[in-house]
Structure formats: C-alpha cells, structure tokens
C-alpha cells in the first residue's frame, strides 16, 4: 500500500459529489449575482469548478461578505468559536434568504 494522500479534497467523497441530475456545469445566473458588503451568503461548494474553491470545512456555512478581492469575495465565517476569513468565488456562493 502506498502513502495516504493529504490533499485539499481528502475525505470529501460525499460532500463534493453532485446528484445525478445536477451533473455538469453550474447555471450561469449564479455568476451574475452581485454581493454587497454586509450581505449574507451560504458557501455551497460546486465541485465542477476548481478555481476559487474554499476549504471543504466551510461547505454549508453562512458567512458575512466583508469585501472583494479580484473576482472573489471575502467572507467572515464562524468556525469552532473563532471568526475566520474565507476567500471564495461567486460560483461557490448562494444568497442567504
């Protein structure tokens, strides 16, 4: 047996898997959503887009948009009692309603 992988997508077989009818690229309308400062967004990682993918630990968490860095957004997320800043592209975000 070889050495175990410790890559960024390890232990995410179910978390980063799409349902049968959702396979393929994401809907392009998700790119058109603009987030303003102090908006809330849910981090839903889209496994078909590798760029701008946040760490799988933050999948399903709600974050507060605190700024923009290039095409990506900066989100403040609570993680284990601490506040962390996550950088994610809009493909991996959904508006929190």
pLDDT digits (tens, 9 = 90+) for 60-78: 999 999 999 999 999 999 9
DSSP letter at 30? H
| pLDDT for residue 1 | 76
| pTM of the predicted structure, to 2 decimals | 0.89
| Domain covering 26-95, topology | SH3 type barrels. (2.30.30)
Q: Would you kindly state where each structural domain of the chain is located, as residue ranges?
A: 26-95
- Per-residue CA distances from 6 to 9, 12, 47 (Å): 8, 12, 18
Q: Quote the mean pLDDT of the chain.
A: 94
CA torsion angle 27 31 34 40 (round to 10): 60
Strands (E), the chain: 40-43, 62-69, 72-79, 82-89, 93-95
- Per-residue CA distances from 33 to 1, 17, 59, 79, 82 (Å): 46, 24, 19, 25, 28
- Residue 17: pLDDT band (50, 70, 90) is very high
């Amino acid at each position: 047996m070889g050495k175990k992988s410790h890559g960024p997508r390890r232990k995410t077989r179910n978390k980063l898997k799409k349902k049968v009818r959702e396979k393929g690229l994401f809907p392009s309308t998700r790119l058109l959503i603009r987030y303003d400062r102090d908006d809330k967004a849910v981090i839903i990682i889209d496994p078909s887009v590798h760029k701008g993918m946040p760490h799988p630990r933050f999948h399903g968490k709600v974050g507060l948009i605190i700024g923009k860095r290039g095409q990506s957004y900066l989100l403040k997320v609570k993680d284990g009692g601490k506040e962390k800043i996550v950088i994610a592209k809009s493909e991996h975000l959904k508006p929190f309603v």
